[in-house]
Amino acid sequence: MSFSTLPELSPAPLPISRPILGMRVDATTYRDATAHVMAWANAGQARYVCAANVHMVMETHDSAEFRDVVNGADLVTSDGVPLVWALKALGVPQAERVYGPTLMLHVCEAAARDGVPVALYGGTSESLKAFSAVLHANYPGIQLACMIAPPFRPPTAEEDAQYTQQLIDSGARIVFVGIGCPKQERWMAAHTGRLNAVLMGMGAAFDFHTGRVRQAPVFMQRLGLEWLFRLVMEPRRLWKRYAKHNPRFVGLFVLQLLGQRVIDRGRKASKG
């Protein structure tokens, strides 16, 4: 879990972005995304980062309020392979996958190196304890300032205030948020002004890295079939999501591409 390119990190200009069904996706890299996160964290800035996949795109398509939440993020990475393909189709040939769980490891290594304290918000007490052990084993010296396992129901106002104060008092400059889409993105947008930290939505990353939830084989990830692997693993929980979102995403994105081509031809014709 070591990334040899990290010592020379420095923030690059903000990445090229494209709207995919109205949701912004940034064509960044692990190196540049990590550099931006660390620069913001070292400066004590309040920022938030979304790791986007088809599910998130369709949630934003179905909710203007949620679209504003994601588009308001400081960085939206192409977590899902279909979004990499979409970026390339929209004229960004250098686009590559920046998978949230892997980006998290890059950031953890940089944070351990720079002495930047991090916090974990999400999961269960057991999963946080297991993930803490993984982080300490792989990144000696990492400062885990705070670990919070909120209830799976919406927290009360009193609980939320308590958790927020706990994060503030911990001094964490990076908070990994693992409570699932779209809850974690809404939580980050609501709390980014209250925490002088970079908030990163990581979904199931805690459980992936402890082996509590299996990740798709690499070949399935490269083929954009991670959703199929997860469906086989958790059919009861996920079948409605994929049945609702995946076919619509394909159809709507094809319409977006066709519309863009019509616009591009019209511009060429007017110039001619």
Which has the closest alpha carbon to 223: 102, 50, 81, 13?
81
pLDDT over threshold 80, residue 266: no
> Residue 136 belongs to what domain range?
6-227
Domain assignment present for 89 = yes
Q: What pLDDT is stored for residue 202 in this prediction?
A: 93
Domain assignment present for 97 = yes
Domain assignment present for 184 = yes
Number of domains in the chain: 1
Domain assignment present for 254 = no
- Of the chain, the end-to-end C-alpha distance in Å amounts to 54
Give pTM, 2 decimals: 0.88
Side-chain-side CA neighbours of 44 within 13 Å: the count stands at: 3
Give the single-character DSSP code of 19.
Answer: E
What is the Cα–Cα distance from 244 to 232, expressed in whole angstroms?
A: 16
Rg of the Cα atoms in the chain: 19
Percent of the chain with pLDDT over 90: 72
Domain assignment present for 121 = yes
Q: Identify the sign of the CA torsion 209, 221, 216, 50.
A: positive
198 alpha-carbon distance from chain centroid: 12
H-run or E-run covering 176? strand 174-178
- 142 touches 136 (CB < 8 A): yes
Q: What pLDDT is stored for residue 4 in this prediction?
A: 47
SS (H, E, C) 253-268: HHHHHHHHHHHHHHHH
At which residue do the structure tokens 């009360």 appear? 156
Q: 164: which 2 tokens?
A: 């927020």
pLDDT, one tens digit per residue, over 105-164 is 999 999 999 999 999 999 999 999 999 999 999 999 999 999 999 998 999 999 999 999
Q: What pLDDT is stored for residue 2 in this prediction?
A: 55
Domain assignment present for 175 = yes
Q: What pLDDT is stored for residue 5 in this prediction?
A: 44
Give the single-character DSSP code of 182.
Answer: T
Which has the closest alpha carbon to 31: 67, 77, 92, 65?
77
Domain assignment present for 251 = no
What is the Cα–Cα distance from 146 to 170, expressed in whole angstroms?
A: 6
Domain assignment present for 249 = no
Whole-angstrom CA distances from 74 to 63, 71, 176, 193 are 20, 8, 15, 13
Question: Per-residue DSSP letters for 70-139?
Answer: HHTSSEEEE-SHHHHHHHHHTT-TT-----HHHHHHHHHHHHHHHT--EEEEES-HHHHHHHHHHHHHHS
